[in-house]
Amino acid sequence: MNREQTNRADVPSPDTALRAVIFDLDGVLVDSFGVMREAFEIAYKEVVGAGEPPFAEYSQHLGRYFPDIMKIMNLPLEMEEPFVRESYRLAHRVRMFDGVPEMLDALHRRGLRFAVATGKSGPRARSLLDTLGVLPLFDHVIGSDEVAHSKPAPDIVLRALELLEVDAADAVMIGDAVSDLASARAAGVTAIAALWGESDPAPLLEAEPHAALKSPEELLTWCLDAAR
């Protein structure tokens, strides 16, 4: 599948009717990139000290659990405490992407069930969604600390399917990172790339998702078609 074919909103929907949507959180539902950068830089300077915080490299691993990224980057695991502290402190600055509230409302009225499967910890993800006033829309919010293996392993998507009580063929996973798409595919779930955030689209398109959508409005249309 080439880039032109993948980067379309009219990619055929699954053969079975869509019943549930599994969302990644950061970069899909919420625009948290600026807060993430500030929290990372504070944590780096507090724990590591001098030098330029390697946020560009960190951003290449988004979608994974923070401790896993620290291991990949050979950074101190002690960075997690100040990173989480600052993320909570700055949470009031996080906003939902334009079109996301309307998309969620329309899909909710259509009767679809929702889960969040995020690289964040479960408590932090639920706290953020509660702050934004949308936590009740989601049937389940699952963090990477609540499964045995985080993305790109399939555990978090499989757990979402279990809690939602749907088959893999009846669900879709929306993510903005290659690890999201890999997790969905490994669980047998249709994988859709969200291209409206800060992520570089090239690696997402190279991962050959089932669809790559440019806006929450395109996602709404795709899901409504798939739910028929």
For β-strands 30-31 and 95-96, DSSP reports them as: antiparallel
Can you give the pLDDT at residue 190? 97
Listed residue (2, 12, 4) closest to 222, CA to CA: 12
CATH entry, 13-31+94-226, from 3.30.428.10, 3.40.50.150, 3.40.50.1000, 2.60.40.10:
3.40.50.1000
Whole-number average pLDDT of the chain? 92
Contacts of 226 (CB under 8 A, 6+ apart): 13, 14, 17, 18, 172
Question: Over the range 164-178, which residues count as b (16 or more CB within 10 Å of their CB) and which as e?
Answer: bebebebbbbbbbbb
Identify the residue whose tokens are 């009031």.
Answer: 92
Q: Which of 10, 26, 130, 170 is catalytic?
A: 26
Residue 228: pLDDT band (50, 70, 90) is confident
Q: Is the pLDDT of residue 46 over 70?
A: yes
**Peptide bond connecting 152 to the previous residue in cis, omega within 30 degrees of 0:** yes
Domain ranges in the chain?
Answer: 13-31+94-226, 33-93
The predicted model scores a pTM of 0.90
Q: Does the structure show a pLDDT above 90 at 43?
A: yes
Classify residue 42 by its DSSP letter. H
Catalytic residue list contains 24: yes
Is the confidence at residue 16, as pLDDT, over 90?
no
